[in-house]
Amino acid sequence: MSFWKYRPGAQESKSLDAATTGAGKAISYANYEKVQYLIQGNGAVGAGAVQIETAHDPTFSGTWSPVGTPVTVVANAEVGATVDAPPGGFVRARVTTTVTGGTVTVYLNAIQGE
């Protein structure tokens, strides 16, 4: 049985909300085994990419460690994955290529058990 930190779509699980640039809110995944992300392209997105990142502190001002590679934002679509919990304790989403023609919303969640 799996346990999620947040119910799917919960407001508190949003790292980025209708964004075109910038870094999102950091989410703690302490005591969880996996991290799930869902990147939602809103509108007719023509370009854009998001990087999921991890750090030891939600207010860390240095360069966060990347989790995988940047994910292309797709127009009116959702792209997601589940990854083993990376080192750090916090994850966030950051726009690495400016989103044009629309916006991006990113949900992050922590999962324990399978």
Q: What is the mean pLDDT of residues 22-30?
A: 96
Structural domain count of the chain: 1
With bands split at pLDDT 50, 70 and 90, how would you rate the model's confidence at 113?
confident
Q: How far apart are alpha carbons 87 and 56 in whole angstroms?
A: 8
Domain that holds residue 82: 3-112
- pLDDT at 92 (0 to 100): 98
Instruction: Write out the two tokens for 12.
Output: 């508190």
Q: How far apart are alpha carbons 55 and 77 in whole angstroms?
A: 28
Look up the pTM and report it: 0.94
**Domain containing residue 46: CATH number:** 2.60.120.200
Model confidence over 28-74: pLDDT tens digits? 998 899 999 999 999 999 999 999 999 999 999 999 999 999 999 99
Q: What is the mean pLDDT of residues 70-80?
A: 97
Strand duo 3-4 + 78-84: pairing: unpaired
